[in-house]
Amino acid sequence: MPHVIVSPCIGTKDQACTEVCPVECIYDAGEMFLIHPDECIDCGACVPACPVSAIFPEEDVPAGEESFIARNREHFGL
């Protein structure tokens, strides 16, 4: 399962996650970053780099943040 960026990223957009991603699958989506679900290799390098703890494996997205799973997919036309 790919990783998903959730609401704490909105308005923050610290680029630390993009700098550590080995496959460059994290994209600027305007108000926040989003992870391309087909490009993510699930390495998890982005998780500790995120200063607002906004990145989770898809299966571990916190309650109330599930809409961001669809938001990531829809943004990339999936």
Q: How large is the greatest C-alpha to C-alpha distance in the chain, in angstroms?
A: 29
Sorting pLDDT into bands at 50, 70 and 90, what band is 13?
confident
What confidence tens digit (pLDDT) does each residue in 26-56 have?
999 999 999 999 999 999 999 999 999 999 9
Predicted local distance difference test score (pLDDT) of residue 67: 96
Predicted local distance difference test score (pLDDT) of residue 68: 95
Which class does domain 3-75 fall in?
alpha beta
Predicted local distance difference test score (pLDDT) of residue 74: 93
CA distances from 9 to 12, 35, 38, 46 (A): 5, 12, 21, 13
Parse the chain into domains and list their residue ranges: 3-75
